[in-house]
């Protein structure tokens, strides 16, 4: 109740620029005491050693590239190798990311046992010949132990490099390349709004048509958790369809869209299961912003809102989990949303356009300090965690992303 009272007070006061002793202060994100606090102070991490492994018999593996995760590997016998896959620290959720390259001096079959530390096998391996085009390994080439703790994969090696990863690899360089494709669009500006804990740029796309003043703002976030690639794919499809829309010019005369497609560049390039370079889950740091990534992004969103002079209407945070799900704000808690009509219309439109598809909505109240609750606490906005399943077919991900983008534009223009 105390938190709700604080939120109501903020909404009544508004979050405009204010004067203090005759000086204009730069607005910052407000801190909140969420009901279930999380310690987001820096934690020690285990940094893997990047190296080339010579396993004998003409077999080689390496983890010396961005997004790799292979803590150690050794030969057990003529055909079996044992790989250790260890998280950056603990406790951590079950997202055992792995990624390595393998090849051999002559054609041969090898078995690699993935030994996880305090985790269970989750991601069926994806294979690639170039690190760009991927396919899931044939099911008969994966054996998972009865308790689900470890898995053994059978690989056909040759002198050509084989990429093996838990999901498709989208490191910071590839995300920047994707974003740079839009940099020449007249409505798009691309920049960095700050630095991560390890000094990587925090990417920002500003999509706007004309003046920023008196425009409501839509915020899009992605990749707080490194392995959650399917959520990133949905975000890509969402943005790409928006930029192709015949209504884009009209939409951007009324709204401004701000995109932070890679909140955790350190975790992505360091091959982390979940956390940033300081060993912290960024999506539990939206109360006191103890991490440089959340502080930079939260303050930047607040400044964008002030600059636009309108409201932040919608915050979409793209993630991945075991199955498709939309985590929304419990309506019993969300007393004064800026767009009380949006959610129901949006989900209904998705179901109408995808016969047989049922939106899996899971409303939750304000508990841990995640973006969904933060958008409401800070702005009174509709905040959603847009989750895509680990194994949702890629064409389905693309279709869902495009439909939700089209329907967002339609609904917001009709209800303006």
Query: Using an 8 Å Cβ cutoff, are 163 and 101 in contact?
Result: yes
Query: Using an 8 Å Cβ cutoff, are 410 and 416 in contact?
Result: no
Q: Of 29, 11, 93, 45, which is closest to residue 285 (Cα–Cα)?
A: 29
Residue 398: pLDDT over 60: yes
Q: Are residues 73 and 190 in the same domain?
A: no
Separation CA 299–CA 217 (nearest Å): 14
What is residue 30's predicted lDDT score, i.e. its pLDDT? Answer: 96
Separation CA 316–CA 309 (nearest Å): 20
What is residue 11's predicted lDDT score, i.e. its pLDDT? Answer: 42
In the chain, % of residues over pLDDT 90: 86
What is residue 335's predicted lDDT score, i.e. its pLDDT? Answer: 63
Model-level pTM? 0.93
Q: Is residue 367 part of a domain?
A: yes
Residue 4: pLDDT over 80: no
Residue 337: band (very low, low, confident or very high) from pLDDT cuts 50, 70, 90: low
Q: Which two tokens stand for residue 114?
A: 């993935």
Q: Which two tokens stand for residue 120?
A: 């269970």
Q: Are residues 15 and 157 in the same domain?
A: no
Q: Is residue 281 part of a domain?
A: yes
Q: Is residue 41 part of a domain?
A: no
Separation CA 29–CA 299 (nearest Å): 5
Separation CA 296–CA 404 (nearest Å): 28
pLDDT digits (tens, 9 = 90+) for 48-100: 999 999 999 999 999 999 999 999 999 999 999 999 999 999 999 999 999 99
Domain boundary among 165, 184, 218: 165
Residue 242: pLDDT over 80: yes
Separation CA 18–CA 277 (nearest Å): 35
Backbone angles phi and psi of 383, in degrees to 5: -110, 135
Q: Are residues 16 and 115 in the same domain?
A: no
Residue 333: pLDDT over 70: yes
Q: Is residue 43 part of a domain?
A: no
Give me the CATH number covering residue 274: 3.40.630.10
SS3 for 170-185, per residue?
Answer: CCHHHHHHHHHCCCCC
What is residue 213's predicted lDDT score, i.e. its pLDDT? Answer: 76
Q: Is residue 76 part of a domain?
A: yes
Residue 10: pLDDT over 70: no
Q: Are residues 107 and 175 in the same domain?
A: no
Q: Of 3, 26, 1, which is closest to residue 378 (Cα–Cα)?
A: 3
Q: Which residue's structure tokens are 């995640």?
A: 370
Q: Are residues 285 and 393 in the same domain?
A: yes
Separation CA 191–CA 155 (nearest Å): 41
Q: Are residues 245 and 195 in the same domain?
A: yes
What average pLDDT does the segment 324-335 reach? Answer: 85
Separation CA 63–CA 69 (nearest Å): 6
Domain boundary among 165, 193, 224: 165
Residue 17: pLDDT over 50: no
What is residue 26's predicted lDDT score, i.e. its pLDDT? Answer: 81
Classify strands 215-222 and 309-321 as parallel, antiparallel or unpaired.
Answer: parallel
Q: Of 270, 229, 279, 266, which is closest to residue 90 (Cα–Cα)?
A: 279
Q: Is residue 40 part of a domain?
A: no
Handedness of CA 365, 370, 375, 378 (dihedral sign): positive
Candidate from 18-22, 23-27, 67-71, 273-277 with smallest mean pLDDT? 18-22
Q: Are residues 277 and 397 in the same domain?
A: yes
What average pLDDT does the segment 107-132 reach? Answer: 97
What average pLDDT does the segment 114-127 reach? Answer: 96
Q: Are residues 21 and 157 in the same domain?
A: no
Q: Which two tokens stand for residue 252?
A: 């951007």
Query: Whole-number mean pLDDT of the chain?
Result: 92
What average pLDDT does the segment 373-378 reach? Answer: 95
What is residue 24's predicted lDDT score, i.e. its pLDDT? Answer: 52
Q: Are residues 159 and 175 in the same domain?
A: no
Q: Is residue 42 part of a domain?
A: no
Give me the CATH number covering residue 82: 2.60.40.3120
Query: Using an 8 Å Cβ cutoff, are 196 and 212 in contact?
Result: no
What is residue 338's predicted lDDT score, i.e. its pLDDT? Answer: 80
What is residue 336's predicted lDDT score, i.e. its pLDDT? Answer: 61
The domain in which residue 87 lies consists of: 52-165
What is residue 14's predicted lDDT score, i.e. its pLDDT? Answer: 40
Show the beta-strand stretches assigned E in 232-308.
255-260
What average pLDDT does the segment 201-213 reach? Answer: 90
What average pLDDT does the segment 394-399 reach? Answer: 97
Residue 261: pLDDT over 50: yes
Residue 103: pLDDT over 90: yes
Separation CA 66–CA 267 (nearest Å): 10
Separation CA 299–CA 31 (nearest Å): 11
Q: Is residue 331 part of a domain?
A: yes
Q: Are residues 196 and 117 in the same domain?
A: no
What is residue 334's predicted lDDT score, i.e. its pLDDT? Answer: 63
Separation CA 108–CA 91 (nearest Å): 38
Domain boundary among 104, 137, 165: 165
Residue 23: pLDDT over 70: no
Q: Are residues 320 and 394 in the same domain?
A: yes
How many separate domains does the chain show? 2
Backbone angles phi and psi of 286, in degrees to 5: -100, 40
Q: Are residues 88 and 158 in the same domain?
A: yes
Residue 20: pLDDT over 90: no
Higher-scoring residue by pLDDT: 17, 341: 341
């Amino acid at each position: 109740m105390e938190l709700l009272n604080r939120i109501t007070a903020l909404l009544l006061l508004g979050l405009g620029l204010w004067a203090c002793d005759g000086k204009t202060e730069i607005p910052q994100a407000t801190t909140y005491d969420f009901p279930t606090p999380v310690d987001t102070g820096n934690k020690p991490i285990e940094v893997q050693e990047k190296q080339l492994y010579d396993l004998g018999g003409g077999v080689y593996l390496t983890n010396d590239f961005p997004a790799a995760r292979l803590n150690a590997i050794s030969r057990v016998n003529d055909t079996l190798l044992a790989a250790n896959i260890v998280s950056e620290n603990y406790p951590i959720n079950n997202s055992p990311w792995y990624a390595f390259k393998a090849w051999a001096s002559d054609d041969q079959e090898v078995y690699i046992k993935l030994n996880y530390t305090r985790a269970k096998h989750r991601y069926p391996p994806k294979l690639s010949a170039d690190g760009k085009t991927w396919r899931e390994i044939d099911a008969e080439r994966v054996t998972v132990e009865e308790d689900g703790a470890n898995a053994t994969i059978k690989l056909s090696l040759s002198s050509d490099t084989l990429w093996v990863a838990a999901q498709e690899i989208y490191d910071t360089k590839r995300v920047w390349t994707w974003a740079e494709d839009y940099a020449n669009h007249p409505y798009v500006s691309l920049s960095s709004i700050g630095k991560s804990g390890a000094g990587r740029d925090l990417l920002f796309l500003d999509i706007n048509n004309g003046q920023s003043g008196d425009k409501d703002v839509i915020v899009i976030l992605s990749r707080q958790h490194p392995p959650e690639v399917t959520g990133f794919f949905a975000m890509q499809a969402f943005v790409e369809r928006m930029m192709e829309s015949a209504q884009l010019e009209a939409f951007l005369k009324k709204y401004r869209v701000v995109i932070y497609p890679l909140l955790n560049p350190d975790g992505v390039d360091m091959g982390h299961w979940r956390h940033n370079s300081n060993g912290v889950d960024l999506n539990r740091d939206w109360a006191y912003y103890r991490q440089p990534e959340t502080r930079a992004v939260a303050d930047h969103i607040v400044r964008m809102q002030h600059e636009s002079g309108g409201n932040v209407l919608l915050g979409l945070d793209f993630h991945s989990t075991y199955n498709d799900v939309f985590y929304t704000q419990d309506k019993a808690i969300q007393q004064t949303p800026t767009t009380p009509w949006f959610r129901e219309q949006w989900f209904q439109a998705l179901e109408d356009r995808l016969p047989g598809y049922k939106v899996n909505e899971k409303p939750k109240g304000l508990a841990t300090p995640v973006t969904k609750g933060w958008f409401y606490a800070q702005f009174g906005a509709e905040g959603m965690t847009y989750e895509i399943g680990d194994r949702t077919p890629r064409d389905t991900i693309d279709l869902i992303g495009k439909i939700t983008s089209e329907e967002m534009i339609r609904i917001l223009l009709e209800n303006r």
